[in-house]
Amino acid sequence: MLPVTIDPLSTLLVALAIGILIWGFERYRRRFERSDLLIAGILASGLLSFVFMPGAFDFVGVALDIEHRYVVISLLANIVFIGFLCYVLTLVHGVHDEVSELTQALTVERAPATDGGTDAECIFVVIPAYNEGETITDVVSSLPETIRGYEVQPLVVSDGSTDDTARNARACGAMVVEHPINQGQGGALKTGFDIALENDATIVITMDGDGQHPADELDRLVDPIVTNEADYVMGSRYLGVNRSGNGLVRRSGIRFFTTVINVLTNAKITDCTNGYRAIRGSMLEHLSLTERRFSAPELIIEARKNGLRLEEIPIRIEDRKKGDTKKPKLGFAVGLTRIIVIAWLR
């Protein structure tokens, strides 16, 4: 048996392999994640095999028609690096999800109690708001005290706002909760839904904090639920009056994705991104909601998958009166595509 020649490169690779094994062992001792130990073992084995079993890499080189072993190891190293990068991104995404869940749970736990009695049937109006200090006062003040005999409870979820959104909403008598970190509209809605469920809301309405959703449409929005004709009522600017000021590209995109959702879920809707909706409170717990940004398509797909009776009515959507729009400009199509596919397949 020929002795193994250890050159400086081989020495470096052996040291690196040992370091990776130590890293994996320490990670396992602290977190007891088998995946960390497994990845460390695979990486270390690959480095050691390059030193002690060079013929294996020669075999790969012949198969790939690559003459030099160093080129082969470089190719394999890049593949491993890409895999490791994907793993790290998965970990980061997981940590981000954990932080979001913790943020929402703490916000729900700290939510103030409602003023109404425990036996009173109520409608929660959930208003996600991010830096809407200029408009939130008008939005909350426009809400009626009752709708169809149900007490109205405004709930403003200030989603990491840095302005006076929360203060202005409280001054108008709304229940206000605050996310210390921005969670996106979907995250803010999820917090609002959880609070509404804890308060046994009969109906939950969602509307924007920028003044685009007129309060005089609320009665018609809840009517199909009150009369037990629907469980989920969504407004459509394309059946009603559209003054939202959306450009041609965004309007075309909304219509395209609406068609996709109709095909995938056998629905017959016209406005898949409209955030003006009413949902029967008892049905909310059946919806699996995970999306933080593009929440409207997820809600529709989840409603269809869980058998909620869905109805669309014509409504009026106004243009934003004050402040800057929070609608995403880049990644709009990619974000909608992603959540539609994920929500439909899971």
Say if residue 147 is in the same domain as residue 286: yes
Tokens in use for 267?
A: 């629905």
User: Are both 55 and 163 inside the same structural domain?
Assistant: no
Q: Mean pLDDT, the chain, as a whole number?
A: 83
Task: Give me the amino acid identity at 91.
Answer: L
Claim to verify: residue 143 and residue 26 sit in the same structural domain: no
Check residue 46 and give its pLDDT: 73
Q: Let me know whether 98 and 226 are in one domain.
A: no
Q: Region 264-276: what's the mean pLDDT?
A: 93
Does residue 49 share a domain with residue 14? Answer: yes
Q: What pLDDT shows up at residue 97?
A: 76
Considering the domain architecture, whether residues 27 and 161 belong to the same structural domain is answered as no
Are 127 and 221 members of one domain?
Answer: yes
Number of domains forming the structure of the chain: 2
In a domain, 308, yes or no: yes
**How high is the pLDDT of residue 189?**
95
User: Do residues 78 and 124 both lie within one domain?
Assistant: no
Question: Do residues 86 and 129 both lie within one domain?
Answer: no
What residues make up the domain containing 14?
8-104
Q: CATH number of the domain that 159 lies in? A: 3.90.550.10
> Distance between CA atoms of 191 and 104, rounded to whole angstroms?
6
112 occurs within a structural domain? no
Residue 247 located in a structural domain:
yes
Beta strands at 150-159 and 175-179: parallel, antiparallel or unpaired? parallel
Burial of residue 311 (number of CB atoms within 10 Å: 0-12, 13-18, 19+): middle
How many angstroms separate the Cα of 65 from the Cα of each of 53, 57, 61, 233? 19, 12, 6, 62
Lowest mean pLDDT segment, chosen from 113-117, 161-165, 299-303: 113-117
On the question of pLDDT at 162 being above 80, the answer is yes
> Is 244 within 8 Å of 255 (Cβ atoms)?
no
Q: 208 and 65 in one domain?
A: no
Q: What is the pLDDT of residues 40-69, one digit of tens each?
A: 787 778 777 767 776 655 555 555 555 555
Residue 155: inside a domain, yes or no? yes
**Would you say residue 167 has pLDDT above 90?**
yes
- Whether 230 shows a pLDDT value over 80: the answer reads yes
Q: Mark whether 318 and 190 lie in a shared domain.
A: yes
Contact indicator for 204, 283 with CB cutoff of 8 Å: no
Q: What is the pLDDT of residues 30-43, one digit of tens each?
A: 666 677 777 778 77
**110 occurs within a structural domain:** no
The closest of 48, 178, 45 to 110, measured between CA atoms, is 178
pLDDT classification of 73: cutoffs 50, 70, 90: low
Domain boundary among 104, 135, 168: 104
Dist CA 198 CA 108 (whole Å): 9
Q: Which two tokens stand for residue 59?
A: 């075999």
**Percent of the chain whose predicted confidence (pLDDT) is above 90:** 48
Supply the pLDDT for residue 45.
80
User: Do 85 and 175 belong to one domain?
Assistant: no
Look up residue 86 and give its two tokens. Answer: 């994907």
Residue 109 belongs to a domain = no
- pLDDT exceeds cutoff 50 at 1: no
Q: What is the mean pLDDT of residues 79-100?
A: 71
Lowest mean pLDDT among 6-20, 117-131, 144-158, 277-291: 6-20
